[in-house]
Amino acid sequence: STNYNNNNGIAQQQQQQQEDPLNEQGTYAPVLNPTIPSGEQTVWADVSTLLQSARNDLQDGELICGENFNLFAAMSALEIMDPKMDSGIVSKYYSVDEAIEDGAAPIPLSLNKTVDVHCIIDVMDHLLCCEATWHKGHSLAQTIFSCIYLLRPDRTSSHPLLSSYCTVVRATCNAVVSVVSDTRTHEEEDLFTITSGLPLKKDGDEKCLSMLNVIEETVTRQLHACKSPSHKKRSIEDIEPLQTNLDLEEGYCKAVLCRLRFRKHFYHVLVCLRRAQGRGLDLARKHIASCLAELGNILKTEGFLKSNSKYGMCENTTEDITTASGCEPVGFDSTLNTRLSAPTPPRAIKLLCWKKAVKYFEKLLHDLDVVCSHPTDSSFEGVLRFVVEFQKLQPDLVARSHLQFLLVQDGKFYGRDPMFAVICRAAAVPEITKNHDIQKNESFVHLGQLAITLLKILCTNAAWQRRQLGKVLQDWRILHMQLELALRKEFEESSSTSIDEMYKHILIWIEEQTFWIAFRFLILGFELELYSPSEYCMVYWYIYIILIKLGEKMHQRMITSGETACLPGKRKGKKKKESTKDASKDPSFPPAVLLLQCHIYLAEGLTLMIAALRNEHGVFQCHGPFNTEQERFIQHFEHLQKACIPDHVSYYSFREYTDNAQFDVSMAKKPESETFERGIQTLVMCNYFKEAQRIAKELRSSFSNDTNKLAELRHLEQVAEHNGIALNLVSRLGSLDPSLK
């Protein structure tokens, strides 16, 4: 068919002439002067005639079918010579060596020292853009290693400034690849960590800091020299200036210095963060501050470099300038590595522009600073809250990898505390019962692993995180069941009440974590825009029932750990839902539980308000031809339902709860019973929003030291207030004014 029309392709053949069909025709014609040289065991042969006859033999729509080549396999076929598919297509140079021979990466960059320095600064800036682009999810081959100087590291040894810069860039990238590989959890890292065929490690790279120090000192002296009043007079004691134009010496020295210093401090940051058990965090913060200062200095050099752009290569006419001076950098060619970036089709990737690259590093440094600022003696719960807060900054892969590296090392919390001890502390297991033998029990080992996995999952990107959280729900549930059985066995076999106590504490803790995971799973759906408006009602409803359970377990844990005073008069038989509902009026409820109660009121109010809007005005609905709301319910809550989180909950529970929601309370049916299972028939939605607002206000004093919690409370108040107003409006209007809809 048409795709083979202009195929005069030359195909390489192995020396298997005995089996070569061409031989029989006697038309084996060796190719003279091929552009790609023959190898030792191979020779080029022109098979155009063979392909021609084969093509004539095939009719339109016919396909050669082989055992290992079916239609599915055929989809992976690449069309040779299609630049979108064929990464072997040569665009300018066949090889790095050819590029070098052609003068694409001269050393020095120019014999004119001013031009040389200016061009090196352009190289430094462009490399920063490459690095930021790599961090954002592209391959090393197409970013950092589009730099010919880095592809042939030995060439730069005669040029100290370029050489030391290249060395520190290599060492930095190596350090980053190392930490991301170590904390590997997901395909996001796949493209990032591919280093095959690339000269990422070179002997002597570990000395990069001393190399940098030498060159930094030299340039510092050059800067001092040019600032001294007698600098225009040459004397034998004067050191050689950085470049030959004395008026520009100060500007160029400063421009070079801040770039070198940024590299130095950034490498230090990575080294400090790598230190075990978070020992380097304080020092890392100091270097982070220096990095940010140097980035500021780098930005300040823009004006000077732009005004001297005539010393650079040609001007970059595109919008995305990758250098401060606006010039094109010398020595880069992203097409040289297309064959090395094999998994991805050959596409020119768009590099981040210089300003954006600087911004990226500023953000990365701020995120790393947050990672360093969390105390390493934090509790498990504290860490969970911290990671959730941290994720609100939308940190990129490098920052998240460093967080995970800090939190989990060698299967231990902060690389230091065994998980069993951490969990016992979190579950408030009484000291005496911390039996060291029992931690070798298979179930407890498994529990430790689940907790570690949870921490790792929480450090991944939101999309991946949600999927994993959904999957682990079942693991937590099953473990709870196993431990429950074990407790029962323990109870029957021995009379050790201390072991029973421990089991009980841990079982409650497991349940609390399970509901917390379920809540996080549901909430992330909003962040990821997975819910459409017609699904809000069921989502808020499910959040509501999960939060009630979470509140129960949290409160239970706090009571059994003695965090709250004993509550007299609370009979065991009393309905759990009511006990949390009365929480707001009982002064002995801890603030954390009250905060949860606030969320519960909001979720409840939103569920019923949306339900009433659906029932009375027909909005927020979706009537597709192929399925019903029940199927969508089953799909969204599949993981939760499979793991029975919570038990005895189904689409019918949701329908029962919401079918009678309406705005006009007087028209509501009289409730027969106010048990949770039957759902609410009468509606006092307004009160839910009011209650939420009230609790949020009252809790301000309890969380006066916690800026994150205060922000959360403000947000809750706002949401409650706005919805309360909306609710008032809607219930007073008989029908929805089209402008309000």
Partner 1 sequence: METTTATAASMIEESEIEYVSYGGEHHLPLIMRLVDEELSEPYSIFTYRYFVYLWPNLSFLAFHKGKCIGTVISKMGEHRNTYRGYIAMLVVLKPYRHKGIATELVTRSIKVMMESGCEEVTLEAEVTNKGALALYGRLGFIRAKRLFRYYLNGVDAFRLKLLFPHPQLPSAMSSVLESYEANETKKDHSLTQV
335's CB contacts (< 8 A; 6+ apart) are 91, 92, 93, 346, 348
Q: Where are the alpha helices (DSSP H) in 532-682?
A: 536-560, 576-581, 591-617, 629-636, 638-642, 651-658
Residues 652-711 that bind partner 1 (CB under 8 A): 652
What letter does residue 155 receive in the DSSP assignment? G
Q: Where are the alpha helices (DSSP H) in 152-246?
A: 160-182, 188-193, 208-227
Cβ contact 313:328 at 8 Å:
yes
Sign of CA dihedral 721, 599, 407, 474: negative
Residue 622 found at the interface with partner 1 (CB under 8 A): yes
- Which of 632, 640, 661, 709 lies at the binding interface for partner 1 (CB under 8 A)? 632
298's CB contacts (< 8 A; 6+ apart) are 255, 258, 259, 262, 324, 358
Residue 394 found at the interface with partner 1 (CB under 8 A): no
- Which of 345, 418, 430, 591 lies at the binding interface for partner 1 (CB under 8 A)? 345
Residue 240 found at the interface with partner 1 (CB under 8 A): no
- Which of 626, 734, 738, 739 lies at the binding interface for partner 1 (CB under 8 A)? 626
- Which of 155, 201, 207, 347 lies at the binding interface for partner 1 (CB under 8 A)? 347
Cβ contact 556:563 at 8 Å:
no
Residue 624 found at the interface with partner 1 (CB under 8 A): yes
CB of 55 to partner 1, least distance (A): 14
Residue 203 found at the interface with partner 1 (CB under 8 A): no
Count the alpha carbons within 13 Å of 592 in the hemisphere toward its beta carbon: 15
Q: With contacts defined by CB under 8 A, name the span among 123-131, 474-482, 608-616, 629-637 that binds partner 1.
A: 629-637
Q: With contacts defined by CB under 8 A, name the span among 37-45, 55-63, 194-202, 666-674 that binds partner 1.
A: 55-63
- Which of 38, 54, 79, 182 lies at the binding interface for partner 1 (CB under 8 A)? 79
Q: Which is nearer to partner 1, 505 or 636 (CB)?
A: 636
Integer-rounded Cα Rg, in Å, for the chain is: 34
Residue 461 found at the interface with partner 1 (CB under 8 A): yes
Beta-bridge partners for 408? 413
- Which of 23, 55, 58, 84 lies at the binding interface for partner 1 (CB under 8 A)? 84
Q: With contacts defined by CB under 8 A, name the span among 66-74, 143-151, 166-174, 197-205 that binds partner 1.
A: 66-74
Question: Crossing angle for the helix pair 354-373 and 281-300, nearest 10 degrees?
Answer: 160
- Which of 95, 635, 707, 708 lies at the binding interface for partner 1 (CB under 8 A)? 635
Q: Which is nearer to partner 1, 138 or 263 (CB)?
A: 138
247 class by beta-carbon count within 10 Å (0-12 exposed, 13-18 middle, 19+ buried): exposed
Cα 435 to the center of its chain, rounded Å: 38
Q: Which is nearer to partner 1, 21 or 137 (CB)?
A: 137
Residue 529 found at the interface with partner 1 (CB under 8 A): yes
Find, among 32, 36, 57, 58, the residue nearest to 46 by Cα: 32
Residues 111-140 that bind partner 1 (CB under 8 A): 136-137
Two tokens, residue 23: 């031989």
Residue 72 found at the interface with partner 1 (CB under 8 A): yes
709's CB contacts (< 8 A; 6+ apart) are 595, 699, 703
Number of neighbouring beta carbons within 10 Å of residue 625: 4
Residue 335 found at the interface with partner 1 (CB under 8 A): no
Find, among 294, 261, 287, the residue nearest to 272 by Cα: 287
CB of 356 to partner 1, least distance (A): 14
- Which of 29, 78, 478, 684 lies at the binding interface for partner 1 (CB under 8 A)? 78
Q: Which is nearer to partner 1, 475 or 527 (CB)?
A: 527
CB of 629 to partner 1, least distance (A): 9
Element spanning 717, H or E? helix 707-732
306 φ, ψ to 5°? Answer: -65, -40
Cβ contact 354:324 at 8 Å:
yes
Q: Residue 257 in 3-state DSSP?
A: helix
d(CA 470, CA 465): 9
Q: Which is nearer to partner 1, 635 or 728 (CB)?
A: 635
CB of 82 to partner 1, least distance (A): 6
Q: With contacts defined by CB under 8 A, name the span among 5-13, 404-412, 622-630, 700-708 that binds partner 1.
A: 622-630
417 φ, ψ to 5°? Answer: -100, 130
Q: With contacts defined by CB under 8 A, name the span among 171-179, 344-352, 412-420, 551-559 that binds partner 1.
A: 344-352
Residue 393 found at the interface with partner 1 (CB under 8 A): no
List strands edge to edge, sheet with 412-413: 408-409, 412-413, 417-418
Find, among 454, 390, 391, 413, the residue nearest to 278 by Cα: 413
- Which of 54, 634, 644, 711 lies at the binding interface for partner 1 (CB under 8 A)? 634
- Which of 463, 478, 665, 733 lies at the binding interface for partner 1 (CB under 8 A)? 463
Residue 466 found at the interface with partner 1 (CB under 8 A): yes
Find, among 457, 496, 503, 455, the residue nearest to 479 by Cα: 503
Residue 320 found at the interface with partner 1 (CB under 8 A): no
- Which of 216, 535, 616, 717 lies at the binding interface for partner 1 (CB under 8 A)? 535
How many residues in the shown chain lie near partner 1 by CB under 8 A? Answer: 47
Residue 627 found at the interface with partner 1 (CB under 8 A): yes
Site residues, partner 1 (CB under 8 A): 1, 3, 60-61, 63, 71-72, 74-75, 77-79, 82, 84-85, 136-137, 188, 344-345, 347, 461-464, 466-467, 528-532, 535, 622, 624-628, 630-632, 634-636, 651-652
